[in-house]
Amino acid sequence: MKLFDVYPLFDVEIVRGKGCFTYDTKGTEYLDLYGGHAVIAVGHCHPHYVKCVEEQLEKLPFYSNSVINSLQSKFAERLGKINGYDDYNLFLINSGAEANENALKLASFVTGRKRVLSFGKAFHGRTSLAVEVTDNPKIVAPVNHSGNVTFVPFNDIEAVRKEISKGDVCAVIIEGIQGVGGIRIPDDEFLRQLRAECDANGVVLILDEIQSGYGRTGKFYAHQHAGIRADIVTMAKGIANGFPMGALAINPAYKPAFGMLGTTFGGNHLACAAALAVLDIFESEHLVENAASVGGHLLDELKKLPQIKEVRGRGLMIGLEFDQPVKDLRLRLLHEQHVFTGASGTNVLRLLPPLVLTRELADEFVCRLKKVL
Ligand SMILES: Cc1ncc(COP(=O)(O)O)c(C=O)c1O
């Protein structure tokens, strides 16, 4: 068999990682400002993470959700102590798209309605509902068009009000910061108005924190910069540092019923061990605070570079917008400077480094970036 060819690949094979560095087959070292797409939170192969996963692997990697798995409740309790949602309930699954899929389904269950509002340039994943609320017609197949989704302009509260007033909306879904859409931050005031509008109309507010959450922006979730709380928060990526896992924090007013949601693999023993190890490291190495301080420093340094049209972001979720496409810049960063970066659309370079990035490594990145500008 051959691979189904859907990824435009860089001509590099990464075989090893340590902290903020990755290494290819020839032993070349790369500074990782991409974190494997915001997934590597505690750094590559953190010794505590490796130890915890190895220990669980030897004990019991998996058993089904038909028996007690106390690692799940332990994780829920630990997460609640750090994420500001101690009073919420947790449902565990395997990926970001699945988290949004379940969040939207749950919103429809609890409201009995079926229309969803999403925003221009939104990205929420590639499965049926998740892709339907994603604003990219190229990745939405005909079968995904249920007709239940309405897109409104980002940051436009009047457009939201107009749609919600029709009375058939079950949920509004919004990213804490739009990632694929170009590192676009919703205005704090807009988020507060959105919260009030959802409250006034019994609409479920879903905050997709899959990319912007888990400490990346210097608060546990990006929407916490606006001082609001969501009804459902979706998470994945950094939650288990590369072990596939996703989660929903659910408003306690939404009552569960047996069979309402379910999964074979979600919340398995190995995933929980990985996620608990991540929380240990978050606490011992103060990674949310580190993302705020190193990210703030990096943003300040990048704003001094005149070649960049606009620097956007919070903490360690940063977009650098240029007047021209960034494709060549990324290739030069990779092959000449040995730095991994991401992109959003054609003109935005996207930085999503591990949250263990130090000030020195942030400066090293700026130094390497200057050489290719
Ligand atoms: C904001 C957001 N939501 C959802 C997803 C989908 O996550 P996954 O690829 O784990 O399904 C992504 C992935 O990039 C994302 O950035």
Q: Which of 254, 269, 284 is the last residue of a domain?
A: 284
**Same domain flag for 36 and 145:** no
Residues 147 and 202 in one domain: yes
Q: How far is the CA of 366 from the centre of ligand 1 (A)?
A: 27
pLDDT at 233: 99
In a domain, 228, yes or no: yes
Domain boundary among 284, 308, 336: 284
Ligand 1 contact via 96 beta carbon (within 6 Å) = yes
Owning domain of residue 218: 48-284
Question: Which pLDDT does position 84 carry in this prediction?
Answer: 97
172 and 270, same domain (yes or no):
yes
What's the predicted TM-score (pTM) here? 0.98
Asked if the structure places residue 18 within a domain, the reply is: no
CATH number, domain with residue 78: 3.40.640.10
Q: Indicate which residue's Cα is closest to atom 3 of ligand 1.
A: 124
Structure confidence at residue 342 (pLDDT): 97
Residue among 8, 45, 38, 83 nearest 210 (CA): 38
Ligand 1 atom at minimal distance to the Cα of residue 100: 4
Model pLDDT, residue 107 = 98
User: Is 244 near ligand 1, meaning CB less than 6 Å away?
Assistant: no
What is the structure's pLDDT at 201? 98
| Residue 308 CA to its chain's centroid (Å) | 25
108 and 119 co-located in one domain: yes
Q: What pLDDT, on a 0 to 100 scale, did the predictor assign at position 93?
A: 98
Residues 170 and 308 in one domain: no
Closest CA to 79 of 254, 288, 220, 290: 220
- Model pLDDT, residue 14: 98
What are the Cα distances from residue 27, in Å, to 12, 143, 218, 365? 11, 45, 33, 20
CA-nearest residue, atom 4 of ligand 1:
124
How many domains, the chain? 2
Dihedral sign from CA coordinates of 44, 351, 184, 292:
positive
Q: Are residues 307 and 189 in the same domain?
A: no
The confidence score (pLDDT) of residue 364 equals: 98
Residue 309 belongs to some domain of the structure: yes
Q: Which single residue is written with the structure tokens 């249920």?
A: 146
Residue from 237, 239, 243, 265 to probe ligand 1 pocket by mutation (most atoms less than 8 Å from CB): 237
The verdict on the CB of residue 350 being under 6 Å from ligand 1 is: no
Indicate whether 183 belongs to any domain: yes
In a domain, 14, yes or no: no
Asked if the structure places residue 119 within a domain, the reply is: yes
Sheet-wide strand order for 310-314: 310-314, 317-321, 348-351, 342-344
Per-residue pLDDT 10s for the chain (373 aa) are 999 999 999 999 999 999 999 999 999 999 999 999 999 999 999 999 999 999 999 999 999 999 999 999 999 999 999 999 999 999 999 999 999 999 999 999 999 999 999 999 999 999 999 999 999 999 999 999 999 999 999 999 999 999 999 999 999 999 999 999 999 999 999 999 999 999 999 999 999 999 999 999 999 999 999 999 999 999 999 999 999 999 999 999 999 999 999 999 999 999 999 999 999 999 999 999 999 999 999 999 999 999 999 999 999 999 999 999 999 999 999 999 999 999 999 999 999 999 999 999 999 999 999 999 9
Do residues 79 and 226 both lie within one domain?
yes
Question: Does ligand 1 lie within 6 Å of residue 219's CB atom?
Answer: no
CA of 343 relative to ligand 1 center, distance in Å: 15
According to the model, what pLDDT value does residue 109 have?
98
Q: Please tell me whether residues 147 and 197 are part of one structural domain.
A: yes
Mutate to test the pocket of ligand 1, among 102, 104, 124, 350 (most ligand atoms within 8 A of CB): 124
Res 140: pLDDT: 95
My answer on whether 304 and 178 are in the same domain is: no
One domain for residues 280 and 307: no
CATH code of the domain in which 363 resides: 3.90.1150.10
Residue 130 CA, closest ligand 1 atom number: 4
Q: Output the residue whose Cα is nearest ligand 1's atom 8.
A: 96
Ligand 1, residues 102, 104, 123: which to mutate, most atoms within 8 A of Cβ? 123
Structure tokens, 53: 């996963």
Q: Which residue has the tokens 């956007």?
A: 312
116 with 248, same domain: the answer is yes
- Specify if 271 maps to a domain: yes
Q: What is the pLDDT of residue 68?
A: 98
Q: What is the pLDDT of residue 126?
A: 97
Q: Does any domain span residue 1?
A: no
Residue where a domain terminates, one of 236, 254, 284: 284
Q: Do 99 and 200 fall into the same domain? A: yes
Q: Residue 237 CA: which ligand 1 atom is closest?
A: 10
Q: How many angstroms separate the Cα of 52 from the Cα of each of 47, 279, 354?
A: 9, 12, 19
C-alpha of residue 124 to centroid of ligand 1, in Å: 6
Q: 3-class DSSP state for residue 153?
A: coil
Name the phi and psi angles at 316, rounded to 5: -105, 35
